[in-house]
Amino acid sequence: MNLWHLALRNLLRNRRRSLATLLAMVVGLTAILLFGGYRSNILYGMETGFVQFSGHLQVQRRGYFVDGGDNPTAYGIAGYQRVIDAIANDPELAPLLRVVTPTLQLGGIAGHMESGHTRSVLAQGLVAPEINRLTQWNDYGMVSYAQPLALEGTAPNAAVIGTGVARKLQLCAPLQVPGCENARPAPNPPTPGSSAMDVPQDVAALSILESASDTPRPPTRIEMLVATAKGAPNVASLQAIKAVNLGIKAIDDMYLAMHLPQAQRLLYGTQAPEVTAIVVQLHHTAQLPAARARLQALLAQDFAAQDLEVLDFRTLNPMFGQTDEFMASMFGFIALLIAVIVLFTIANTMGTAVVERTVEIGTLRAMGQRCSGIRRLFLCEALLLGAAGTALGLLGTAVVAWAINHSGWTWTPPGYSYAYMVLVRVWQDLPLLAGSVAGLLMVTVASAWWPARRAARMGIVDALRHA
């Protein structure tokens, strides 16, 4: 106790120098925690969005993720319901599962006859209630931008399109899409059935057939042309009920969602329906390694003939790993730069203190104080500075983080079409908090070690002669 009391009195002997050192530590710790909290918010937000959209894991035919995007029929999962039942009823997997749902991706051409416009789309057949459960996952308590899919409880031919698709097909006004302006119309807008229409013949033929019926054609009716599993063209008439902003413009310009049975009829006709993926969402991301290992063992044991593989959300969304690596490199660089500044600041403070107290050191040694006692005295002073800097740094971080989180500050990430809130998550990221505090204390002790060692090795006669 006397040693700590003496260390505190020594720090207070030169309050101005101690305060300047303390300020450097507070600013350094606050900067590290704020940037780390910002990085954590971005990564947690991206993970939440990806898990809501594609689940934690997906079961696919081997090679589909790399080569099957333009040929889904070659990589379909036959008897997919048996696979889903096996996953859902497995005693090891069942407690970990939140949602298990099939999806079917297919490409095609969507056309709107009234405007004579077409658009290449990447359609997704899905089970709407299960997809809506998927989007409710929010394990980190993030500000979620996911909206329920409007397909739930709608007609079998209903479809939801991206706002980019609505703009291209001239559906902004009929669907009442806010902030959406139709694409530039053709110089001479064609009429249904005319040869000037820039649409596939199959789509135009279906339009003529429907216009000849007594049923009035809704203004949001669109047709979709798809090549079936046998290569023949297949056309379906869909009712666009809503346009949604997916956030990423490249996806928004091609997005179309429909009920799974409708998508299967388009792609497989009268053949046995298949899907391209089985989406698996867990309760917590921490359960992913165990769930993946068990899922791989289950598929290899019971469904080896189909050569299925399990992909996690990081593999399915390479942007997550790339962003993580970039943010980690930036965080490491900033942390290293601040650590060097704090290290030299504390080392300079302790070195100056050793020079000023040379006679005092000689006196203590002459009174019988051991070298280790002198070393401990200076290290205690550094630790007191570190503890005070940590406490004030955490307080400063809390104040600044609160101000940022309540400022309403937003930014639009590259490739996205709407803004996200700028938030910092410090207190929810315990590894960041513990690592930053421990790092500051380690830098403090390391920077004080050499001056303390030099003071402890100082000769008694030389120290007393310094006066």
The DSSP bridge partners found for residue 227 are 233
Tokens coding 192 = 């249904």
Q: Which of 306, 340, 369 is the last residue of a domain?
A: 306
Residue 256: Cβ-neighbour burial (10 angstroms; 0-12, 13-18, 19+): buried
% of the chain with per-residue pLDDT over 90: 41
What is the Cβ-side half-sphere exposure of residue 219, based on CA atoms within 13 angstroms?
A: 8
Model pLDDT for residues 162-201, shown as the tens digit of each residue: 988 999 998 988 888 887 777 665 555 555 444 444 555 5
**Is residue 327 domain-shared with residue 297, that is, in the same domain?**
no
Q: Which of 243, 275, 306 is the last residue of a domain?
A: 306
Domain containing 81 equals 63-306
Tell me what pLDDT residue 186 has.
Answer: 52
Residue 312 is assigned to a structural domain of this protein: no
**Is residue 286 domain-shared with residue 231, that is, in the same domain?**
yes
State the pairing for strand pair 233-244/221-227.
antiparallel
**Is residue 206 domain-shared with residue 138, that is, in the same domain?**
yes
Which has more pLDDT, 247 or 157? Answer: 157
Q: Which of 277, 306, 335 is the last residue of a domain?
A: 306
Counts for the chain of helices (H) and strands (E), in that order: 16, 11
Residue 459 is assigned to a structural domain of this protein: yes
The tally of domains found in the chain comes to: 2
State the pairing for strand pair 158-162/233-244.
parallel
Q: Is the pLDDT of residue 289 over 70?
A: yes
Integer Cα distance of 187 and 118 in angstroms? 15
**Is residue 387 domain-shared with residue 300, that is, in the same domain?**
no
* Sequence letter at residue 227: A
Q: Is the pLDDT of residue 209 over 60?
A: no
* Sequence letter at residue 231: G
> How many residues in total does the chain contain?
467
